[in-house]
Amino acid sequence: MECFSYFKNKSKHKGQRSAPELERKSDNSATTADRTTKSSCSATSPRGIPELYEEKAHNLRVFSFSELRQAANDFSRLLKIGEGGFGCVYKGSIKRVDRKGEPMQVAIKKLNRDGLQGHKQWIAEVQFLGVVEHANLVKLIGYCSEDSERGMQHLLVYEFMPNKSLEDHLFNKAYAALSWQTRLSILLGAAQGLAYLHEGLEVQVIHRDFKSSNVLLDEDFKPKLSDFGLAREGPTADRTHVSTAVVGTHGYAAPDYIETGHLTTKSDVWSFGVVLYEVLTGRRSLERNRPRTEQRLLEWVRQYPPDGKKFSLIIDPRLENQYSVSAARKIAKLADSCLLKSSKDRPKTSQVVHSLQEITQVSGAGDDASQAVDRSTELSENEPVDSELKPDQSGNSESWKRRMAHLVKLGEHGDSSSRKKFLIMQRTRVQ
């Protein structure tokens, strides 16, 4: 079988400002591009992600480990901004190459050293994010792969997203609740990012881990999708699906994919449907501390159909009734279509975008949503403002300052405890 492994050459990387090649070799030990063995269906793509990556790799910066260690103040706990299955994420500052070394804020993800799975995900992230380019996808600035005195180090350097993730704002009461309009625009942007992956590239890209924690928010609360470590190329034109080991996160993965291992873009559409309900209700897809009938979000909302009298009971109380009921019903109907049992019946991602555009336009045109209150202004007046994080002239409002101060404070304490990822690792039949 053919697969790709990262071409390591420490001396070559030092001081280098473009990405090294990914070496193609025969090896049964796997990488993300192992589609020829696990997939019976997608091996014939003339230009896959690795080929596209080779074309675009020069856009990525290659950092030395010492450069990144310095950028994140020796990976100080004070600069830790998050932690996921891959490892810890730190805020750091690097010098821009394009603007005479001006400092630039970045997020640095440091892979936990052990594990083949982590290494595979690191390569996938570099390859996919090295190829894609869209306003609603997080930008990968560069990476580091180096054999240091502490062992092999793999890191990723992203543009810094100051407003954390959609998950943080939906479920963590310490964060300001998102207004109705902000929720709609986040959903639309996230759908546009997914549609680009599914329909806007030479190859189809399936994210496989779409969830609210992987929707990051920039300074204007514009959403950008992150975490491409589990992404896969979709089937080529004459095939209906790729067959893979099942990976993803419990509560978001499509049941047909879990059952059969057959992966299509419609698996991501299912996950999007779950996030639509999370945004409407302010509840996680799985909440074990609720009464039994309410633990599984999708089972719970089924008792409150979009056209029913009791529908409004599921809407996030943090919206304080500042939302459009008719738009909310439409969102729920859209979610239901994304969550249809048969993947073929689910809408294409571009149709989801289209529906959300219509809903957003109608909802923004003067019904009850126009009274939506942005609760960010309700944050404490006493928080200090970090001068480093001041926005440029366009966004320098008092509410912004308060929100940022709040986030900075929270960031200092890290926030890994609230999240737990369940990796589904189930070998599936290969046709």
Ligand X SMILES: Nc1ncnc2c1ncn2[C@@H]1O[C@H](COP(=O)(O)OP(=O)(O)OP(=O)(O)O)[C@@H](O)[C@H]1O
Q: Which of 227, 256, 278, 415 binds Mg ion (CB under 5 A)?
A: 227
Distances (CA, A) of 399 to 172, 230, 351: 19, 37, 35
Q: Which of 42, 121, 214, 264 binds Mg ion (CB under 5 A)?
A: 214
| Closest CB 199 distance from ligand X, rounded Å | 24
Q: DSSP label at 429? A: -
Contact flag: residue 248 with ligand X (CB under 6 A): no
Catalytic positions, written as ranges: 209
Residue 95 labeled ligand binder: no
- Cβ-Cβ contacts under 8 Å for 163 (sequence gap 6 or more): 169, 216, 217, 218, 219, 221, 403, 407
Contact flag: residue 108 with ligand X (CB under 6 A): no
- Contact indicator for 219, 389 with CB cutoff of 8 Å: no
Distances (CA, A) of 147 to 39, 109, 112, 144, 194: 33, 17, 14, 10, 35
| Closest CB 226 distance from Mg ion, rounded Å | 5
Q: Which of residues 164-183 bind ligand X (CB under 6 A)?
A: 164-165
Q: Return d(Cα 385, Cα 282) in angstroms, integer.
A: 28
Q: How many CA atoms lie within 13 A of 423 on its CB side?
A: 12
Contact flag: residue 107 with ligand X (CB under 6 A): yes
Binding flags for Mg ion, 36-75, as an x/- string (CB under 5 A): ----------------------------------------
CB atoms within 10 A of CB 429: 9
How many chain residues interact with ligand X (CB under 6 A)? Answer: 22
Torsion sign across C-alpha atoms 48, 51, 57, 59? negative
Which of ligand X, Mg ion, none binds 306 (CB below 5-8 Å, type-dependent)? none
Binding flags for ligand X, 109-148, as an x/- string (CB under 6 A): x----------------------------x----------
Binding flags for ligand X, 196-215, as an x/- string (CB under 6 A): -----------------xx-
Element (H, E) at 243: strand 242-243
| Closest CB 227 distance from ligand X, rounded Å | 5
Selection from 373, 188, 349, 212 nearest residue 278 by Cα = 212
Q: Is 340 helix (H, G, I), strand (E, B) or coil?
A: coil
| Closest CB 84 distance from Mg ion, rounded Å | 5
Which of Mg ion, ligand X, none binds 223 (CB below 5-8 Å, type-dependent)? none
Residues that bind Mg ion (CB under 5 A): 84, 214, 227
Task: Detail the residues annotated as belonging to a binding site for ATP.
Answer: 110
Residues that bind ligand X (CB under 6 A): 81-86, 89, 107, 109, 138, 158, 160-161, 164-165, 213-214, 216, 226-227, 419, 421
